[in-house]
Structure 1
Amino acid sequence: MTSEFRELRLDGVGRRFSGKDALADLDLTIRAGEFIALLGPSGCGKSTALNCLAGLLPLTSGSIWQDEKRIDVLPPEKRGFGMVFQNYALFPHMSVRRNVAFGLQMRKLSKAEVARRTEEAIRLVQLEEHAAKLPGQLSGGQQQRVAIARAVVLEPSLVLMDEPLSNLDAKLRLEMRTEIRRLHQSLGLTTVYVTHDQEEALSLADRLVVLRAGRVQQVGTPEELHATPANWHVADFMGFRNMIEMTVARVSGDEVVLEGEGLRLVGTAMGSISTGATVVAAVRPEDVRVVEGEGDNRIPATVDVVEYQGRELAVEARTGTGSGRALHLRTDQRLAPEDRVSLAVEPQRLLVYPKEAGDPAPTELAEVTG
């Protein structure tokens, strides 16, 4: 399957509801064959962006282009996109085969062509032995495969997926992630995928678009967003569970000395930072280590909660004698509640972000979605 365009371009796309921006100034260029994930918490504008692309919502501002052709003025059926919904949206009275064939029949293709493409799509999602069954006789994962087959059988120039795995259990989600990536690669699809699950987005996408309050916070590869979030909001969402508000004591190039909450730490500046400013220091649990003795960037702490997770422990410790700041770490050392430990963070792993006026305080424990 080949895409019918070289690139899809969103220029200043915006959508307002009751005078409030649900999406504002979205600029994004999607290359043919690319897998793009729109990522962010509930209400960030990701589904609004997808529905604008699909033509289910008219734009309040901006435009959408396929190469040199403007498409936001076209109705959904004229855009040639396939869509996979969260709730599958299958016809319950039709077999798998008839569900997949339905869109082709509506296009009035020949019976032979409908049969050929239907069987090929069913084979791609590995449902040949279930082709005669009704949706109600299938598992959730199998129903989602039918929905994907129904979308790709139309050979769309773009496939839009709106949180397609959110109704599945953990094991099926993992299996379907692999299936979606396999289909994307084997068919050369161009895919835009909406999710609130950062792990899902990291594993599937070529590039991620992180949204917050209707505005783009960062666009980049999974590696870029995982290692170097653009601001503390992105870091918070991408799994940096330790977010500490501190004061800048000294700045020397990219090196920043921080003080606050009884701690003195050295980190790496991730923006314009000046002495005396209030900042947010972010570090992942896997970058907090249990060490022996004293030294730079050492934090005395008391173990509070220990969770067994197979090869390692997820630990919540509190600074000082147990009444201070909660810090989260992962370790293969055997720890127990009330253990006194010394924690260390490498300066290059402690990312220091400016805190703008009006920003909310970072949560002590940032939720890892998914």
Structure 2
Amino acid sequence: MTVPEPAFETLRLDGVTRRFAGHAALADLTLDIRRGEFIALLGPSGCGKSTALNCLAGLLPLSGGSIWQDERRLDTLPPERRGFGMVFQNYALFPHLSVRSNIAFGLQMRRLPRAEVRRRTDEAVRLVRLEEHAAKLPGQLSGGQQQRVAIARAVVISPSLVLMDEPLSNLDAKLRLEMRTEIRRLHQSLGLTTVYVTHDQEEALSLADRLVVLRAGRVQQVGSPEELHTRPANPHVADFMGFRNLLRLRAEKVAGDSVVMSLEGVRLTGTAVADVRPGDEVLAAVRPENLRPGAEAEEGLHCVVDVVEYQGREMAVEARTRDGLQLHLRTTARLAPQDAITVTADAAHLLVYPAGEA
């Protein structure tokens, strides 16, 4: 499918704010999106990510700030004049129109010549691999097929920006994986600038060039998938990105970014992510897969296994220390409830934050 040269080099959100009844659902969002980039807005329910998308689309007016395509201001334009494609969570297909007619609808509204509508619709149908289903109604399709129709309808108009609002959340696990691959394939082949809303960390990490993590309407961190996965900026991002173990401790020694702490008489060494001083109360964060279980006689935190969940190649383990502190582990070791183990972690994987950031 041929896509015309995009209409902008940079899409700029400058202090974008949206208030409802005096409450800021989105506060001072400032972000530059480069042409061809895939941006994921990530965060828990109520963090402001869908509000940000609707502000971009023009479905919500701004309470403050502005949106620019290069030197062209967008937030003063109605949605239909922004030239964006949008994929909704609930597909939003016309139930009485066939797959082909749903995809062609946007082109027809633009009053393009019939031959052009037919050619571009055919290309879009092939692009999402729905040739055998082109004459069917949406109700005759699976959820994954309906989402492909919605994506084709969004991209067939050759938009300068595609907005996707949790498009995979209604699909089962297998279809989510398949559609995730399809979305990435389409983005790479067409080079469309995309803003994608999700609460699923794995989905965001696998799709996006950059992630924007939001909490209570405010940006917590912007970075590449690797940056957010390995170096969360604060405990809120760490918790959301899978650092399930957040330990409230006290820094005893600090040398550079190396921090020594103790827990139940066991010395722990971690890596400071922000400024930490001796005597400070800190939060030490570590992923379940970076906690290593060992035999009871080995050095480490002494724990007893409470719960073991089989998850294929690994076990998800919940254990408790002698003082009742709960720890989460992921391991290939064969453990069972009531097993006595010790737990250790490498300093590089134990990230330390000032407790005041929590």
User: TM over 0.5, yes or no?
Assistant: yes
2:309 to 307, 310, 328: 307
Post-superposition Cα deviations, 1:24-77, rounded to whole Å, max 9, x if no partner, equal: 111100010000000000111101110111011111111111011111111110
Question: TM-score, normalised to structure 2's length?
Answer: 0.96
- 1:108 corresponds in structure 2 to 111
- 2:186 corresponds in structure 1 to 183
- 2:213 corresponds in structure 1 to 210
Post-superposition Cα deviations, 1:116-144, rounded to whole Å, max 9, x if no partner, equal: 01111011000010000000000000000
Q: Secondary structure at the match of 1:27?
A: strand
Post-superposition Cα deviations, 1:246-287, rounded to whole Å, max 9, x if no partner, equal: 122222221112235665422111101122222111000110
Q: Secondary structure at the match of 1:216?
A: strand
What stretches of structure 1 of length at least 5 have no aligned partner?
Answer: 360-370
2:136 to 128, 133, 137: 133
Question: TM-score, normalised to structure 1's length?
Answer: 0.93
1:91 to 91, 94, 102: 94
CA contact (8 A) 1:245 1:260 kept: no
2:17 to 9, 14, 19: 14
Alignment-mate amino acid for residue 328 of structure 1 = H
- 2:155 corresponds in structure 1 to 152
- 2:347 corresponds in structure 1 to 347
- 1:274 corresponds in structure 2 to 277
- 1:224 corresponds in structure 2 to 227
Inter-partner Cα distance in structure 1 for 2:160 and 2:266: 54
Post-superposition Cα deviations, 1:303-339, rounded to whole Å, max 9, x if no partner, equal: 111111122211111112xx61111111111111111
Q: Secondary structure at the match of 2:120?
A: helix
* Matched length: 354
Superposed, 1:213-252 pairs within 5 Å as: 213-252=216-255
Q: Secondary structure at the match of 1:356?
A: helix
Alignment-mate amino acid for residue 71 of structure 2 = E
| CA RMSD, 1 decimal | 1.2
What stretches of structure 2 of length at least 5 have no aligned partner?
Answer: none
Further displaced range: 172-181 or 266-275? 266-275
Pair 1:199 & 2:202 matched? yes
Inter-partner Cα distance in structure 2 for 1:311 and 1:109: 53
Inter-partner Cα distance in structure 2 for 1:310 and 1:147: 34
Alignment-mate amino acid for residue 353 of structure 1 = Y
Inter-partner Cα distance in structure 1 for 2:219 and 2:35: 21
Which stretches of structure 1, 4 residues or longer, exceed 6 Å deviation after superposition? none
Q: Secondary structure at the match of 2:251?
A: strand
Alignment-mate amino acid for residue 194 of structure 1 = V
- The Cα shift of 1:291 comes to 2.7
Inter-partner Cα distance in structure 2 for 1:130 and 1:343: 54
Post-superposition Cα deviations, 1:10-30, rounded to whole Å, max 9, x if no partner, equal: 111111111111111111000
Superposed, 1:30-69 pairs within 5 Å as: 30-69=33-72
Further displaced range: 301-310 or 211-220? 301-310
- 1:118 corresponds in structure 2 to 121
- The Cα shift of 1:347 comes to 1.1
Inter-partner Cα distance in structure 2 for 1:109 and 1:254: 61
Pair 260,299 (structure 1): closer, same or farther in 2 beyond 3 Å: closer
Post-superposition Cα deviations, 1:147-183, rounded to whole Å, max 9, x if no partner, equal: 0000000000000000000000000000000000001
Alignment-mate amino acid for residue 356 of structure 1 = G
Inter-partner Cα distance in structure 2 for 1:185 and 1:67: 23
Inter-partner Cα distance in structure 1 for 2:205 and 2:278: 35
Superposed, 1:299-338 pairs within 5 Å as: 299-320=301-322, 324-338=324-338
Q: Secondary structure at the match of 2:118?
A: helix
CA contact (8 A) 2:16 2:66 kept: yes
Q: Secondary structure at the match of 1:105?
A: helix
CA contact (8 A) 2:264 2:301 kept: no
Inter-partner Cα distance in structure 1 for 2:106 and 2:261: 60
2:286 to 283, 287, 293: 283
